[in-house]
Amino acid sequence: MCVPPIAAGLAASIPVISSTVKAVRAGWVPAGDDGIIATRAWDVLTAHSPLVGQYSEAGLVVHGQVLHSPGPMLYWLLALPARFGSVTSIAVTMCIVNTLAIIGCVALARRRGGVVLMFATAVGIALMCQSLPGEAMHDIWNPAAGLFPFLLLIFMCWSLACGDRRLLPAVALVASFITQTHLMYAAPTAVLLVVGCGGLLIGSVWESTHARARTRAWPTSKEALDRDATHARTRARVGHGSGVVPQSLAQASPPKPEPPRRPPRIWPWALAALAVAAVCWSMPAIDEIENSPGNLTMIVRTAEHPEPRLGASVGWHTVVRAVGFRPWWLYVPGSEWERKADVRAAASSGQTDSALALLAALALVGALAAYARRWDLFAAALIALGLCAAIGFEAASNPSAQLLAETLGYTMWWGSELGLWVWLVLAWSLWLGVLWLARPALAALRARLPAGRRGLTARLRLTGVVLASLVSLGAVVAVGGAVARDARPDSHVYEYRPIREVVDGIERVIPPRQTIEYNLGPLDLGTQPMEPAIRFFLVRHGDRPLAEGSYPRLGSYYELRKRPYQWVLYLTDGTRAPRRMRLAGRVHFRGPWGPETFSAWVRRA
């Protein structure tokens, strides 16, 4: 039945749904980098559809060239809500994607480990949400947009390693989306694909080898059965008159041996996965052909650039913070950017010792699982160890330049999901060990029960399972509700109303489908995130805002380059009026840095 995993997944998604409802009620708009992403999502259904992903500062810092995320699949996901829905439908779309990802995790957990692992996963996900920014549950910012799809990919690759070949096309889709969203997912995604596809390939070769051996032995077995059946019919005819052999045996037809079953074919699903991957990476491939160097080439050059790195100590601190007690996923951080400081500071001896103990326990679980041929448990432990290595490598190889070192504040967010997986694997291993030790006692108890009471015992056991499931579901709901109540509001919530008021004023003055010179005056930290959102609203209005320096973030279509325009728009702080311009909108509000005044001025060209 699909009802229990859906119910448990929805309960675990309460923090995601709650944060989205709060954002929609507050009048969510794509402020800051979200405005750039929403604008590029609008461009997907135009002649200037983006070929690459979100702009990154890494290229300018490392070697002074423009660099983007690998691909535009995040824009593809948001294209329809950005163009046809309300503005808040963009955030709702991300909420739906994240909720479906959580349900998928819970469903795959049930498939691999039963009801116990299903509810443990649901409770763990709900708890993990407390360690992430509240707006990350519905945010379209690329580091946040890939978080829950990445968690889903962990469970999908685990199932793939266990032989679930039908997941290959879905794995190709989700892995492509995550990798194209942000480079911080590249290393862990590679680990997951190696374990998932490697486990599937090894299992397939193993099954094929044994199937061929059984097939070679089958004709001999068939001849022997036919020979025995012929002898049995002969004896039946001879002894029928004396009553030695019953008439039914004399007339019985010989048993027909069944040929050994062929192992399931993988190549149709592999071909489907290749086709999905080809579609997903078609735009980055076109960019590589049209530009020299292409964006993917620039990414490789940036990774190979001899830039000073943060080093192995930072990588080890990251693993300790993600895995050791108290791990990132089990507490509420003081700030959403706190992890950039966590990885620089040395961990306590207790944290280090607990991390070493947990890593050793993972290695022991993997070894015992391989000895017992529990390949599902072996794959789960291997994924956990591989992800620990990936996050340590990613933190250690991060450039030490101040701007790029600060990015650890959000590139380490997926450390919460790593910690959840490590603790979940160890808890499930412990549960399986307890069941294995209790198996003789349970078997002896069943043997002592009278035959008439075994049916009653089975009914009581079913009732107990149902009650335990309901109690577990209630626990997931309680945990999810508690996390949702304590979630912080969006970091840009104070700008939502002012942005809409300014946009209404601009649209009252400038008619639709106009070309606008888009100018910026002095903007501080409290008003600068309003500019990308206003640009997006103008694009939705049918206008074409042109500005100098738009190419890196938005492409050449929005670059001014001496193109003609019909209106001039000037955004600035304060109330001072520019020459020959009229006021279109002005707002006064209080932000994190104090009172703010933001004005929009327009004139005809």
Q: What is the pLDDT of residue 271?
A: 96
Question: Could you give the residue ranges of the DSSP H alpha helices within 449-543?
Answer: 451-485, 493-509, 530-540
Region of poorest pLDDT, from 19-28, 166-175, 425-434, 463-472: 463-472
**Cα distance between residue 10 and residue 446, in whole Å:** 37
Of 459 and 440, the one with more pLDDT: 440
Average pLDDT, the chain: 89
CA neighbor of 180 nearest in space, from 37, 345, 42: 37
- pLDDT over 90 (residue 360): yes
* Least confident stretch, 218-232, 448-462, 502-516, 517-531: 218-232
CA distance 527 to 497: 13
C-beta of residue 392 within 8 angstroms of C-beta of residue 321: no
Q: Is residue 557 packed enough to be buried (19+ CB in 10 Å), middle (13-18) or exposed (0-12)? A: middle
Q: What angle do CA 170, 174, 175 make, to 5 degrees?
A: 110
Q: Do 388 and 322 touch, CB atoms closer than 8 A?
A: yes
Over residues 280-309, the pLDDT tens digits come to: 999 999 999 998 889 999 888 888 777 788
Contact call for residues 309 and 396 (beta carbons, < 8 A): yes
> Which residues lie closer than 8 Å to 37 by C-beta, 6 or more apart?
30, 54, 74, 75, 78, 140, 141, 142
- Residue 278: predicted pLDDT: 97
Q: Decide: 174 and 350 in contact? Cβ < 8 Å.
A: no
159: enclosing H helix or E strand: helix 147-161
Residue 585 pairs with which residues in a beta bridge?
600
User: Do residues 249 and 213 make contact, with C-beta atoms less than 8 angstroms apart?
Assistant: no
For 338-347, write each residue's pLDDT tens digit: 999 999 888 8
pLDDT the model gives residue 513: 95
541: pLDDT strictly greater than 50: yes
Q: What was the pLDDT predicted at 245?
A: 45
pLDDT digits (tens, 9 = 90+) for 102-156: 999 999 999 999 999 999 999 999 999 999 999 999 999 999 999 999 999 999 9
Which amino acid, 329?
A: W
pLDDT of residue 250: 44
The pTM (predicted TM-score) of the whole model is 0.91
Three-state secondary structure call for residue 456: helix
Across the range 5-32, mean pLDDT stands at: 96
pLDDT tens track for 381-410:
999 999 999 999 999 998 888 777 888 999
> Looking at the predicted structure, is the pLDDT value of residue 497 above 60?
yes
Q: What is the share, in percent, of the chain residues with pLDDT greater than 90?
A: 71
Q: What residue ranges of the chain are covered by domains with CATH 3.40.50?
A: 493-604
What residue has token string 């933190």? 395
Look up the CATH number of domain 493-604. Answer: 3.40.50
Q: How far apart are the first and last CA of the chain?
A: 65
3-state secondary structure of 90: helix
Is the pLDDT score of 243 beyond 50? no
Q: What's the average model confidence in pLDDT over 176-184?
A: 95
What is the 8-class DSSP label of residue 600? E
